[in-house]
Each structure stands twice: as structure tokens, then as C-alpha cells.
Structure 1
């Protein structure tokens, strides 16, 4: 079977799997769905695939190398279970009432969001991949009294991308494609914000060739600078926002507005703003690292851990700085 045919077959199976998940999981009683996805999370952690090994390496940095390998393994298992919970909830969210999500969400630092939004000012909520950002979106819509705009990465196959767009639009989001849209996503977002709108952007992983250099947990990393650039161009309040899980609900942690306006070169102001965003992320992630679902590579010098049994000790590159 050719590589192209394998890719197409895999893509079709992936799309079919998500379609089945969105249909079948909603039919299960919630306790049964929770238990099933929790078992799947434990199984995935034990399987120790590349994503899990990268997550473990990332968590070693986040925890400053203070944990024993056994403790780090336990934390990684909790993190994979947290990620599984995200997917269980994602499949069920369209059937959940917004009232349940809103009343089940604890909010820390709401005064920062209220201050930034005062007078109908545009606001940009910059988020990491933590907790359930889709459930957070339902809370945002209720608080805003209307929709916000976000960006979706193009997925393969296209049918899967369209399925995710339809899912998020069913929750009330306005979604624009990162690439391949009728207009550049930055232009659409800039116009939306200029009209007083709000947007939510995931900014803890840079997927492009550019980006802004920051210090993140004591190591050099690169974050996308679009959120800070949009804030500088539109006067929007840039609010770092971290989502977390509670026992059967959710928590949102808002940090103070990050200043972007002022003297100096735009490039320098954007870089300083993204460093402040990174610092705010680090504080909340360190408080509850298991809810940071970062199975991708963040730091150039922190590759995935080796497979179990391949190497017993961590390389110097993955040790605490």
C-alpha cells in the first residue's frame, strides 16, 4: 500500500473516529463516560507513546527537576488522564447546558477581565493548552453576552477540520481558519477587535517559522506574538487566561492586563508583552501542572524522553536548568 493511500486511509479513519465519538459518547451516562475515558487515559500513559514521553519531559522542566522519576511518572499519568477528561467533555459539551458550565466554573481574578473590558473595550484572552478551553469558551460567551472569535488550525483531512469548526460554532464561537481562508486570519481578527469584539487565542506553542523568543520555566522558547501584536494595533486588553479542572467542574484564572502600548519599538513591546504572558502561564501551570496538555515540543533542547528501558537516566538537556 502506497504512503499516499495509507495517509488517506488513516485520515478517513481518524475523521470517522471523531464522528463516532461525538455521537456515541453523548449517549453514554456521564459516570460511564468519565470512567471509560479515565481508563483510556491510564492505558495511554502506560503505553508510553511519543506524545506521553514528550509530556513527561515537559513536566520535568515545569517541576524544576525536583521530582523523582516515580513521582514524575505519577504526575504524567495524571496529566494524560486530564487530557482524556478534556476529550470526554469535548464529545459531550454540545449536549451540556451552558447554565451547568457557567455555574460549575470557579473564577479567579475576574476583576482583571472586568477592568480590561470596561466601556466595551476589545479584549484578547491569551490561553495555554490547559484544562478545557472549550468549556471556558462557553463561560466567556455567557459573560460577554455574545460570541467571541477564535482561530482554528487546519487539520487533515479537511472533513475533520470542518467537524471541529462545526463543533465550536455549535457552542457559539466564531471560528476563522489559521490558513486558507478568504482573508488572512490576522486581518479578520483585527477588524473584529476594532469593532469592540473579544477573541481567545491559544499561544503556548509556536507552530510557524517566526515567533517571539521568551524565557519559559527558565528555558528559551518561542511563542507566537500575534496576540500581543493585535493588542498593540487595536488597543485591546491582553489578558493571560489559564483553564484548569476541578473535581467535577472547571476553573479560570485571569491575570492582570499585559501592557503593550507605550514608547519604544513595536517589536520590543510585543516581545516584552509575550514574556509577561509566558510568566503568567508559568505561575498557573506550575500550580497545577497535570492540567497542561502539552504533548508537543516546546523547548528546542527538550526532546521526548527515551522509550521505557532505553535509557534509565535523563540526558542533561532534559534536566532542570
Structure 2
């Protein structure tokens, strides 16, 4: 590594590496404590920790409130606060559910995904046609993949590597535990990702985060940079593009898994806007289940 690249690499800086190490140690401590508890208690426990402690201290609640005020300025302040609080609780529950590598898939194996996309998926697999399943950070985005894998589908995933390398190492293992290959975003994972798709496989993509230099599309009435990659892959490999959602139920522990009708093949921008519109409809119906903590609207940035 050259001197300049070492300076540019934040993990080459001792202070940053120590901070990453300590942060990961705290997270691992919470995970281990939670996993020692019975399943229902652990899910409620981590939901509470993120809602009451981590979310406010880390600034996630402030960011969620800021996003909510921008999107729904006429909503009463008390209602925005309620949505932000319940959003944080859902984030915490989702986190520990996805680390419950045995209990969570076992629960999801009992759930039957439904909706027009479920039959379309079954028919595509029978024909050997590739399928791209697309969702956002809503409910628990891994719930439906776990339910489908339990039914014999070989569903791969694409993930964005975490900035903290210590955390990333065990984060990837949680996704692999659900079954199906997982691939990192970028050149390193592209070859395997495309091979799986071209072979008639199924892949899951999350599309609702800001992507630098991506086209600006509408999301919840505001401009948001949105990657076209899911639609572009669907067009390139004649893959079905199916929006899906793992919707948390009122008890906070169970899920409904819905596969919507496939998005018609037109052009990448139109198809991606359809995905944004699909997610926006879900968010308007159940705003507490979307991750308002993301910096989603940064269209003024490149």
C-alpha cells in the first residue's frame, strides 16, 4: 500500500481502528446477551435498547424525526414522534432476529408467502427463468427470504459491506445462515452474482438507500437518488422483477410475507420508479415499519 493510499484508508489509522474495535465489542456484547434469552424476550429486549438508548444517543431518532418532518410536515408532532419511536423498535427487533440464525428461520418456515408474485415466482423457477426479488428496509427484509428458502428456493443476496470491518465479518455470516449464496456489492461480488442469475437462480436486492450519482427519482414526493441496477439486470437477463415485503404483525414477532405482481419490462427508469411507488404505498400504510433512520433524501449531493 502506498503512503497516499494508507492516508486515504480510514482503517489504516490507529484511532479509527480502535474505535471500530470498541464499537464492535459493544455490539457483540449486546448480541451475546440477547441470544442467551428466550426468543420472544430477546426480540423485545433489543427492540427496547435501540428505541430507548442506542437510537437517541447515536442520533438515529433525530434523523428519523427530520425525515418525517420533511415528508409529512402537516402530521402532528406527537404522531411523528410515535412513528420514529416505533421505527427504532422495529430496527432493533430486525437486527436481533437476523442474528437468531436458528430460531428465526425456523419460525419463518411456518409462514407461507402469498400474493400474485408467489405464483409468478413458482412458474419462473419451473421454467428455469431467473428472478430478482426486490424490497426495501421495511418490516424485516430477511423474513420473506427465510420463508422462501425453507420452501426449497435457492435465493442469493447482495449486500453492502459495512464500514466497520470487525462488525462486517460477523454481519455477513448472519446473511449466509439463511441459506443461498450472498455477494458483496462491487466488482468482487458481481461475477458470482451474475453467474447465479444467469443460471436461472433467484436473487434478493434492497434498493431504498441513497446511491451516489444514481438518477434522481421520486420517493414519497421528494427527489431521491435511486440505483437502477435491479431493473437493468432484469432487462439484461430477462428476469422477473418482483417487489416483496416481510410485514411485521401486531404482536411484534410474526410476519406476513407478500410478493406483489412482477413489474412489467419497459425501461430501467420506469421500472425503478414502479419499485419506489410500491414501497411508498407500503410506507404510507404502515410508516412505523420503514427505516426512517437512513439518509435517503440527498438528491442535492452527487
1:202 to 198, 206, 213: 206
Q: In the alignment, what sits opposite 1:23?
A: 32
After superposition, the C-alpha distances for 1:269-290 in whole angstroms (9 at most, x for unaligned) are 1111101111111111211111
Q: Which runs of 5+ in 2 are unaligned?
A: 1-11
Q: What secondary structure is seen at the aligned counterpart in 2 of 1:103?
A: coil
In structure 2, relative to structure 1, the CA distance for the partners of 1:206 and 1:115 (3 Å cut) is farther
Question: CA–CA distance in 2 between the matches of 1:21 and 1:233?
Answer: 43
Q: In the alignment, what sits opposite 1:53?
A: 62
Q: In the alignment, what sits opposite 1:94?
A: 101
After superposition, the C-alpha distances for 1:70-125 in whole angstroms (9 at most, x for unaligned) are 1111111111111111123123x213163421224664443454455452321101
2:273 to 264, 272, 275: 275
Q: What secondary structure is seen at the aligned counterpart in 1 of 2:204?
A: strand
Q: In the alignment, what sits opposite 1:243?
A: 246
After superposition, the C-alpha distances for 1:115-142 in whole angstroms (9 at most, x for unaligned) are 5545232110111011112232211212
Q: In the alignment, what sits opposite 1:264?
A: none
In the alignment, is the contact (CA less than 8 A) between 1:147 and 1:173 conserved in 2?
Answer: yes
Q: Normalization by structure 2: what TM-score?
A: 0.85
In the alignment, is the contact (CA less than 8 A) between 2:144 and 2:245 conserved in 1?
Answer: no
In structure 2, relative to structure 1, the CA distance for the partners of 1:97 and 1:201 (3 Å cut) is closer
Q: Is 1:40 aligned to residue 38 of structure 2?
A: no
Question: CA–CA distance in 2 between the matches of 1:301 and 1:52?
Answer: 21
1:166 to 166, 169, 173: 173
In the alignment, is the contact (CA less than 8 A) between 1:228 and 1:273 conserved in 2?
Answer: yes
In the alignment, is the contact (CA less than 8 A) between 1:54 and 1:295 conserved in 2?
Answer: yes
In the alignment, is the contact (CA less than 8 A) between 2:39 and 2:103 conserved in 1?
Answer: no
Question: CA–CA distance in 2 between the matches of 1:136 and 1:14?
Answer: 30
Q: In the alignment, what sits opposite 1:266?
A: none
Q: 1:301: Cα distance to partner?
A: 7.0
Q: Is 1:218 aligned to residue 221 of structure 2?
A: yes
Q: In the alignment, what sits opposite 1:310?
A: none
Q: What secondary structure is seen at the aligned counterpart in 1 of 2:233?
A: helix
Q: In the alignment, what sits opposite 1:285?
A: 283
Question: CA–CA distance in 2 between the matches of 1:146 and 1:40?
Answer: 34
Q: What secondary structure is seen at the aligned counterpart in 2 of 1:229?
A: helix
Q: 1:180: Cα distance to partner?
A: 6.1
2:259 to 230, 254, 263: 254
Q: In the alignment, what sits opposite 2:7?
A: none
Q: Normalization by structure 1: what TM-score?
A: 0.80
In the alignment, is the contact (CA less than 8 A) between 1:76 and 1:290 conserved in 2?
Answer: yes
- Name the count of aligned residue pairs: 287
Question: CA–CA distance in 2 between the matches of 1:30 and 1:142?
Answer: 19
Higher RCO (CA 8 Å, separation ≥ 6 residues): 1
Q: What secondary structure is seen at the aligned counterpart in 2 of 1:251?
A: strand
Q: 1:295: Cα distance to partner?
A: 1.2
After superposition, the C-alpha distances for 1:142-187 in whole angstroms (9 at most, x for unaligned) are 23x1422212222234332221122211221311111362xxx334
Q: Is 1:129 aligned to residue 137 of structure 2?
A: yes
Question: CA–CA distance in 1 between the matches of 2:290 and 2:57?
Answer: 17
In the alignment, is the contact (CA less than 8 A) between 1:105 and 1:250 conserved in 2?
Answer: no
